[in-house]
Amino acid sequence: MKKKRIISILLASAICVTFIGCGKKNDSSNVPDIKNNVTSSDKKNGNTDSGDDSAKSLKTLNNKQEVLEFSKEVMTKVENIFKKNNLDYTVANDYLRLAYKGQYKRLGEDYDVEITTSFAPYHEDDNEDGISFQYRIPFTDNTDVTKLNIPQLNVIADVMIEFDEKVKGKYNREQLLKRMNDELKGDVDGDRLFEFGSSNIKSEADCRVLSGGIELAKAKVKGNVKSAGVQYTFEKYDDYISIVDKGNKELTAAMKNCGLKDVVVNMEGYAQGKSDAEYDYRNETYCAGMEKNDEKSAFNIVYSFEGQYIPFDAENNKIKDTKYIEAMVKQLNSSEIFKNKFSYDEFMNEIYKRTQFKLDDNDCYQEVSMDGVKSIEVAINGDKKVMGFKIIFESPATVEGQTER
């Protein structure tokens, strides 16, 4: 059926995060227009030495579109394995992350299973980045893996058969599961394909936990596929000092203009305003502000936009009313002070793909592809009636011709 990492102290205190059950596929209508014409890397497993001839065969990804094409080609193969085994999953609409979190039942007991496929290609320097497949599944000591016949285990086996060079062309599923069972029982000498460990989780006290991962594909990613943001330039140090005060006064006025109530400047110097509607918890609240980056030697400009207690339609994975968000985005994009502009649709898309992972009880960590954006965090309350987000922008600055103190 189709449906669609540090939370700040403010956001964490505002939203009590809990999770719900098994994952579901995203709405394919939200998938960006990506052409599947990129071949996956010839080098798929193990460490790649820069002097190795095989490293020369690695595809170089020069921009975001090539990154998305490369990732989608590989992720779709994993997606098809989940479909073949009739197992629901959650996939981001940019196809950089696919995850499953659920359970299998044996002899009246439930055992938790986690499977994640992810690609993290956005960084400042040129890198070799792999698409990783990670899994975790517990077995009791008396489990016969060959007779377990659960889709979660079959997905793991099928992915290994298609992508793992130690397995590919050497084992079919039956043979691989027999090998896994022999290693679980300690009946194999020499090198092993699988790793089993113990768990400190009470419900897994008598279990051996199969956990591991493989690299599905690898590529060289140019560090400039994501921009650090629009450059700020200040001819005088005093101009750099005063930009924060100017920016926050502008934001305070913008919050009042868009209809938010009780607009104040909080302890961090940020503008904060509330809606006049009453909800089960507290009023819908927004907070925005600008600051100098005092944590590093670089003259960076940081600003933050945060929403708390936002009425949320969990069934459709939508914020019920986005008028305040739209007004603030319009303000940032029209301001001469906030130079790092961004797309409203892109921003909302980044929020919604994270809330979908939250709703499906998966880790919602996802790298941000938006230029000049350092992080986006989301949280959903226990009954899924309200949600919160925080976006942190960071842009480089030059002060009196210097880029750092």
Q: Return the residue matching tokens 């377990």.
A: 148
Confidence band for 298, pLDDT divided at 50, 70 and 90: confident
Average pLDDT over residues 276-299: 79
Which tokens sit at 33?
Answer: 């227009």
Give the tens place of pLDDT for each residue, 63-112. 999 999 999 999 999 999 999 999 999 999 999 999 999 999 888 888 89
pLDDT in tens, 193-202: 999 888 877 7
Amino acid identity, position 236: K
State how beta strands 109-118 and 97-106 pair.
Answer: antiparallel
Plot region of 229 (φ>0 → left; ψ -120 to 50 → alpha; else → beta): left
Residue 403 near residue 298, CB atoms below 8 Å: yes
Q: What is the mean pLDDT of residues 124-128?
A: 89
Distances (CA, A) of 146 to 86, 130, 178, 186: 19, 31, 6, 15
Residues 26-64 pLDDT 10s: 433 333 333 333 333 333 333 333 344 444 578 999 999
> Is residue 186 classed as helix, strand or coil in its secondary structure?
coil
* Burial annotation 383-401 (CB, 10 A radius, 16+ → b, else e): ebbbbbbbbbbbbbbbbee
**95 versus 282: which is more confidently predicted?**
95
DSSP class of 402: B
Beta-bridge mates of residue 113:
102
Residues 6+ apart with CB under 8 A from 24: 1, 2, 3, 4, 88, 89, 90, 360
DSSP 6: P
Return the pLDDT at 38. Answer: 33
User: How is residue 327 written in tokens?
Assistant: 């007004």
Q: Which residue has tokens 């991962």?
A: 213
Q: Which residues touch 249 (CB under 8 Å, ≥6 apart)?
A: none
Task: Give the Cα-Cα-Cα angle 356, 359, 364 (nearest 5 degrees).
Answer: 60
Phi, psi of 246 (to 5 degrees): -65, -45
State percent of the chain over pLDDT 90.
64
Query: If you average pLDDT over every residue of the chain, what do you get?
Result: 84
- Burial label, 305 (beta-carbon count in 10 A; 0-12, 13-18, 19+): buried
One-letter amino acid at 2 equals K
Kindly report, residue by residue over 329-363, the tens digit of the pLDDT. Answer: 999 999 999 998 889 999 999 999 999 999 999 99
The arithmetic mean of pLDDT across residues 223-242, rounded, is: 90
Of the candidates 193, 395, 173, which has an alpha carbon nearest to the alpha carbon of residue 303?
395
